[in-house]
Amino acid sequence: MELEGLCVVWQGAILGGILFWIFSSSHLNLTQKLRSFLQPWVTHHVQTTTHMVLLIQSYQHGFLDALFSGLSCVVSVPFYTAFLPLLFWSGHGQLARQMTLLMAFCDYTGNCIKDVVSAPRPPSPPVRRVATTKDEEDNALEYGLPSSHTLNTVCLSGYLLHYVLIHTQIQGPYVNYLGVSLVCLFIALIGLGRIYLGMHSLVDILAGLVLGLGILAFWLVVDEHIDSFVTSGQNVTSFWVALSFLLLFAYPTPELPTPSFEYHTAFNGVALGIVAGVQQTYHQFHHGAVPHLFSENLTLPVFVGRVMLGIPTILIVKFCSKTLAKWIIPVVANTMGIPIKSSSYIKSDKQIKQGGYLLSKHGVFDVDTGIRFVQYAGLAWSVVDLVPSLFTYTNL
């Protein structure tokens, strides 16, 4: 009883702290004050280091365009969104849980800083900006500092290396040296590539590197505690629902609208779906004794069958979640007399084009935020709950 009471106390303290931060930062106008202090300094460094970007781009070559564009795709949010379900279905549940929650934490922290500072990317022209995918075109609409690709690469590749060295039989000083060297080389290539592609200045890359190292160091301290709470804690789902809801408000308003809040909303929903699903089905599908890929009970053909069944299923769930949310959320808001707006999901004669934040300064609820949150929460839940149930029924 004492342990349960202590759990309720710290959960309440966290939620209360976030709520206090929301009201105090709004009342004191902290975002604008921080921006007025940081933005001129960062903008100055972006402008004065443009010649470095142009120098790196002077080595322009089709091979380098393809190489750095490909590397950027490999560490992009859509890639991780596709990769993480495969990690769950291959039997590496703990690693998948940790990387999902770490990704959500990185995305929230990095995008908050981006929109607080609201610093520009390198000026184009004269800088040549290479955006070969729709995802890169959307990324170019965000502010520059910090580099999300650098931040995510430091955290996720660093954590993956840590997990492999700790939880596998691969040991030895030479193995550690080789692993660290490969991770450092990969991070360096990502940072260099973001400058070469004209997406970031040096100050953006350095900020992403420093922030990423700080987050990684923090996560290596708390990861086991977080995983223990998610798999066997008290009031996990209700706490995470409240946390996810508050984090939609605990987000700064940028100088101009960007897609950053949309990305945060999506991964916020993913984190909730994963936590809720794992908490309900941990002892069925995600405990430490589940078979891993290439073991006797999970051969490669069986894993391929899982992927062929799982991917269409989660896409159907995402579509159904989005459809239901588009119907239910506006109806509930209208019933409660809450004025709504939509920039993309709901078509109407009074549609407001400049959406993206939960509540506008006029108190209008943006239904796009709720719809996006629900559809990604549904997708993530299906990855760890519905799809593993289908694997059981189909003997996969």
Mean predicted confidence (pLDDT) in 157-163:
91
Helix axes 148-167, 173-196, angle to 10 degrees: 170
The predicted structure's pLDDT at residue 1? 54
User: Considering only CA atoms, which of 365, 86, 381, 118 is closest in space to residue 248?
Assistant: 365
Cis upstream peptide for 125 (omega within 30°): yes
Strand, helix or coil at 346?
coil
The b/e string for 274-294 (b: 16+ C-beta within 10 A; e otherwise) is bbbbbbebbeebbeeebeebe
Residue positions counted in the chain = 396
Strand, helix or coil at 292?
coil
Q: Confirm whether 167 is a catalytic residue.
A: no
Can you tell me the distance from the alpha carbon of 317 to that of 91, in angstroms, rounded to the nearest whole number? Answer: 22
Query: Residue 61: is its pLDDT beyond 60?
Result: yes
Instruction: Summarize pLDDT for 332-356 with one digit per residue, the tens.
Output: 877 877 777 766 665 554 443 344 4
What percentage of the chain reaches a pLDDT higher than 70?
91
Query: Residue 329: is its pLDDT beyond 90?
Result: no
Instruction: Please give the model's pTM, rounded to 2 decimal places.
Output: 0.88
Query: Residue 24: is its pLDDT beyond 70?
Result: yes
Q: How confident is the model at residue 210 (pLDDT cuts 50, 70, 90)?
A: very high
The predicted structure's pLDDT at residue 110? 92
Q: Which of 92, 149, 264, 286 is catalytic?
A: 149
Instruction: Summarize pLDDT for 62-97 with one digit per residue, the tens.
Output: 888 888 888 888 777 777 777 889 989 988 888 999
Burial of 196 (0-12, 13-18, 19+ CB in 10 A): buried
Query: Residue 114: is its pLDDT beyond 60?
Result: yes
Query: Residue 158: is its pLDDT beyond 60?
Result: yes
Mean pLDDT value across the chain: 85
Residue matched to tokens 């997406």: 199
Mean predicted confidence (pLDDT) in 363-382:
84
Residue 78 falls in which region: left (phi positive, over 0), alpha (psi -120 to 50) or beta: alpha
Least reliable range by pLDDT among 160-174, 201-215, 309-323: 160-174
Residue matched to tokens 């308003």: 253
Q: Confirm whether 149 is a catalytic residue.
A: yes
The predicted structure's pLDDT at residue 350? 43
The predicted structure's pLDDT at residue 102? 93
Mean predicted confidence (pLDDT) in 10-27:
87
Q: Which of 92, 200, 264, 286 is catalytic?
A: 200
What percentage of the chain reaches a pLDDT higher than 90?
31
Could you give the C-alpha distances from 129 to 188, 260, 263, 301, in angstroms and in order? 19, 19, 22, 42
